[in-house]
Structure 1
Amino acid sequence: MNLKSTFLTLILALLVSVASYAQQGGQFRVLVFSKTAGFRHQSIPNGVLAIKKLGEKHVFSVHTTEDANHFTDENLARYDVIVLMSTTGTIFNEAQKAAFQKFVQSGKGVVGVHSATDTEYEWPWYNQLIGAYFLAHPRNQTLRLQVVDKNHPSTWHLPENFLWTDELYEFRNVNPNIKVLINADETTYEPAKAMGANHPMAWYHEFDGGRVFYTALGHVDAVWEDADFLKHLYGGIWYAAKGKLPK
């Protein structure tokens, strides 16, 4: 066997090994859940596809569903992270809520995207978990976002200030224990009801034994092709799965 053939054989073996590793779950396993019982964002398919591509790129497995019956102790035990992809409304029954709580309490991770805060308004545990409830939003606009914490994998790559165009959420019932990562500068756009100087747009925290990351970004389709946003989201998923922060 010549040198070229040997090299090609080694490359093929490496690719097979990586593919096998990914099929077994790779670094971790993610469940993307996108059920809606209220407004349905047209960007949901873009978001689901983007996370599948992140899984291929970063070697983690992705399972997607809109069936809340998947929320049982047995099924959820297979995953390390649940991503709530722009969910809305009341999407769980009591048994499914109990399984979700057990999942979090077992030390697993949750990632909320955009309207995950427009979900389960009658469930106080969920309010504390996700970090806030949706209040209002103005028309889509461009604003200045300010990174207030760069000591998190979702913000390592971001500049301190950057322009962003999206549907800009305002919140109520904010959990005072969330750790804010990105703030909205309300002086740079026209808010609906206004939150003032403290207007979080992305945050994380530990809650009830688990880890939670939330980003309010992700409404417009174009966001799901933005490299900085995808790095932001992957950093949140990685944190939720691994719980690793710099010391």
Structure 2
Amino acid sequence: EGAEVFVYDNLNCYSDSALMERVDLVIQHFTQGEITPAQEKALLNAVRNGTGLAGWHGGTGDSFRSNVEFQYMVGGQWVAHPGNIITYDVNIIDQQDPVTAGLNNFSMQSEQYFMHVDPNVKVLATTTFSGEHNNWIEGAVMPVVWKKSYGKGRVFYSSLGHVAKDFEVAEALEIMKRGIRWAAQSKAEGPDQWLSPLYPSR
């Protein structure tokens, strides 16, 4: 929608300093891979300096299992999807945020992600585990959509989107579109300011 897009099938682009200074947003879709120290450092520095980052599902939430600083930047890391493809509900918990404003709760038939999540992210939508597939997580409420800052950069993540068909769910697609737009404004508007209930002094 009016953006100039560069597409790469490897991570060498992160080491291109001229490119990383030019772009407003990185959308990463790279699952269970490896990133070199130089590539990771370049990406982290770009986001710290104001480049936005947006991603979904394992393409960002399960990219580099050995890279803790990358996981800190994203705000979470995949652990499991009990039951594999199941039907589950997504609950919108922030009706004021522009990413989720006006959207209703909805259902997905896909992988329900159980994740390790940074408690300082701004959670916009959640899901609750039934315990049918792993009884010890019955009732666990898990973030599905969140936003955060990493330095001057805006970071948006959604655990939805195992396959392209998932975005035939109108709410899932709308959340991604809005989240991408929000993260892309990082350099122009700076990081959002909000108070975390766990860190009210920040």
* Range into which the TM-score falls when normalised by the shorter chain: 0.7 to 0.9
Greater share of helix: 1
Q: Which moved more, 1:62-71 or 1:211-220?
A: 62-71
Give 1:191 shift.
Answer: 4.7
- 1:215 corresponds in structure 2 to 158
Distance 2:133 2:144 in 1: 13
- 1:162 corresponds in structure 2 to 106
- 1:25 corresponds in structure 2 to none
Does 2:169 align with 1:226? yes
Give 1:195 shift.
Answer: 7.2
TM-score by length of 2: 0.83
Structure scoring higher RCO (CA < 8 A, sep ≥ 6) equals 2
- 1:152 corresponds in structure 2 to 97
Does 2:46 align with 1:103? yes
Does 2:55 align with 1:112? yes
Give 1:127 shift.
Answer: 1.2
* Aligned-residue CA RMSD (Å): 2.2
Q: Give 5+ residue unaligned stretches, structure 2.
A: 195-202
Letter in 1 for 2:36: N
Q: Give 5+ residue unaligned stretches, structure 1.
A: 1-57
Does 2:164 align with 1:186? no
The number of equivalent residue pairs is 186
Distance 1:246 1:101 in 2: 20
**Which secondary structure does the structure 2 equivalent of 1:141 belong to?**
strand
Q: Is the Cα–Cα contact under 8 Å of residues 40 and 70 in structure 2 kept in the other structure?
A: no
Q: Is the Cα–Cα contact under 8 Å of residues 151 and 246 in structure 1 kept in the other structure?
A: no
- 2:86 corresponds in structure 1 to 141
- 1:131 corresponds in structure 2 to 75
Q: Is the Cα–Cα contact under 8 Å of residues 147 and 158 in structure 1 kept in the other structure?
A: yes
Does 2:174 align with 1:236? no
Identity, in percent, stands at 29
Give 1:200 shift.
Answer: 0.7
Select the structure of larger CA radius of gyration.
Answer: 1
TM-score by length of 1: 0.68
Q: Is the Cα–Cα contact under 8 Å of residues 126 and 144 in structure 2 kept in the other structure?
A: yes
Give 1:227 shift.
Answer: 3.2
Distance 2:28 2:161 in 1: 12
Which residues of 2 match residues 38-117 of structure 1 at below 5 A? Answer: 58-72=1-15, 73-85=17-29, 87-115=30-58, 116-117=60-61
Q: Is the Cα–Cα contact under 8 Å of residues 204 and 214 in structure 1 kept in the other structure?
A: yes
Distance 1:114 1:92 in 2: 18
Letter in 2 for 1:169: Y
Q: Is the Cα–Cα contact under 8 Å of residues 152 and 246 in structure 1 kept in the other structure?
A: no
